[in-house]
């Protein structure tokens, strides 16, 4: 079986797909937590998690009695988000997950949804970043504006990729990923422009949702010209 077929087989299983979606925010979860979001028993969850670890899609860290699972890297998160954005063979149904989830959510460690897509469009359209091989680089004026907002550009550059596109699942347009996407998200949550929604043990999508605060809405309008 080819590697592509193997990966497709792994992702195609509903329980494993639910686990992978639960890991998309970048948090590490135990087998018990993965069992709850997948709706299966502990033994079955351990077997499914092991298959994901063996495939290289998920990494595991043992600490005491617990084994913590997380996606193996940003490339895996980006691939999953892109796959979820692909059109289905049947006519596309209306968005079923609520406007709040569509407005802003985490994809790995960067901002996705309408706000994430709008940030990407504004930063590329206004010349904050410009195209480079494999992604984007910050322009001189973009660096100055990002630094003024408190974005850690040095940390962004230490990432395997500084800035690149990730096809957004709900919006079907790219949002920004890579080190720069991570540091922009970090700045926004640190300044309480965006806040995490209290996670639900049963709603795997809710673990990814972000809420835009009144201060965040004002800042996005002033700094980026984005209506949130």
34-79 residue pLDDT tens: 998 888 998 998 899 999 999 899 998 888 788 889 898 888 888 8
Degrees (nearest 5) of the Cα angle 12, 14, 16? 80
Report d(CA 138, CA 127) in Å as an integer: 8
Give residue 85's pLDDT.
73
Domain of 47, in residue numbers? 3-72
**Domain co-membership, 109 together with 143:** yes
Total number of domains in the chain? 2
Give residue 37's pLDDT.
86
Asked whether 170 and 95 are in contact (CB, 8 A), the reply is: yes
State the DSSP code for 192: T
**Domain co-membership, 102 together with 185:** yes
**Domain co-membership, 217 together with 124:** yes
Asked whether 95 and 102 are in contact (CB, 8 A), the reply is: yes
Residue showing tokens 């395997």: 160
**Domain co-membership, 107 together with 154:** yes
**Domain co-membership, 118 together with 58:** no
Give residue 48's pLDDT.
92
Residue stretches of the chain with pLDDT short of 50: 1, 89-92
**Domain co-membership, 31 together with 85:** no
pTM across the whole model: 0.75
State the DSSP code for 209: B
Give residue 183's pLDDT.
98
Residue 165 DSSP SS3: strand
Report d(CA 158, CA 10) in Å as an integer: 31
Give residue 73's pLDDT.
82
* 125-137 as b/e: b if 16+ CB within 10 A: eeebbeeeeebbb
Give residue 25's pLDDT.
80
Give residue 211's pLDDT.
93
Give residue 218's pLDDT.
97
What does the pLDDT look like over 9-25, one tens digit per residue? 888 899 999 899 888 88
**Domain co-membership, 80 together with 193:** yes
We report the CATH number of the domain holding residue 39 as: 1.10.10.10
**Domain co-membership, 128 together with 167:** yes
Give residue 78's pLDDT.
81
In whole numbers, what is the pLDDT of the chain averaged over residues? Answer: 87
**Domain co-membership, 41 together with 103:** no
Report d(CA 26, CA 73) in Å as an integer: 9
Q: Kindly give, in sequence order, each residue whose CB lies less than 8 Å from that of residue 65, ignoring residues fewer than 6 positions away.
A: none
Give residue 94's pLDDT.
52
Give residue 76's pLDDT.
87
Bridge partners, residue 59, by sequence: 70
**Domain co-membership, 86 together with 142:** yes
**Domain co-membership, 65 together with 136:** no
**Domain co-membership, 183 together with 119:** yes
| Start-to-end Cα distance in the chain | 46
């Amino acid at each position: 079986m080819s590697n592509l077929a193997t990966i497709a087989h792994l992702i195609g299983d509903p329980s494993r797909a639910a686990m992978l979606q639960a890991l998309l925010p970048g948090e590490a979860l135990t087998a018990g937590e993965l069992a709850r979001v997948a709706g299966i028993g502990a033994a079955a969850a351990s077997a499914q998690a092991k298959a994901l670890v063996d495939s290289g899609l998920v990494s595991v860290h043992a600490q005491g009695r617990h084994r913590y699972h997380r996606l193996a890297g940003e490339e895996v998160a980006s691939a999953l988000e892109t796959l979820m954005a692909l059109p289905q063979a049947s006519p596309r149904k209306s968005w079923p997950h609520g406007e709040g989830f569509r407005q802003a959510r985490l994809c790995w460690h960067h901002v996705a949804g309408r706000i994430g897509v709008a940030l990407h469009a504004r930063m590329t359209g206004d010349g904050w970043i410009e195209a480079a091989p494999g992604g984007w680089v910050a322009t001189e004026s973009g660096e100055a504006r990002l630094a003024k907002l408190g974005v850690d550009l040095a940390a962004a550059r230490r990432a395997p990729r500084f800035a690149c596109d990730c096809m957004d699942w709900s919006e079907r347009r790219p949002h920004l990923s890579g080190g720069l996407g991570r540091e922009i998200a970090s700045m926004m949550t640190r300044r309480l422009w965006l806040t995490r929604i209290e996670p639900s043990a049963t709603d795997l999508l809710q673990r990814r949702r972000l809420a835009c605060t009144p201060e965040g809405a004002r800042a996005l309008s002033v700094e980026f010209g984005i209506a949130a």
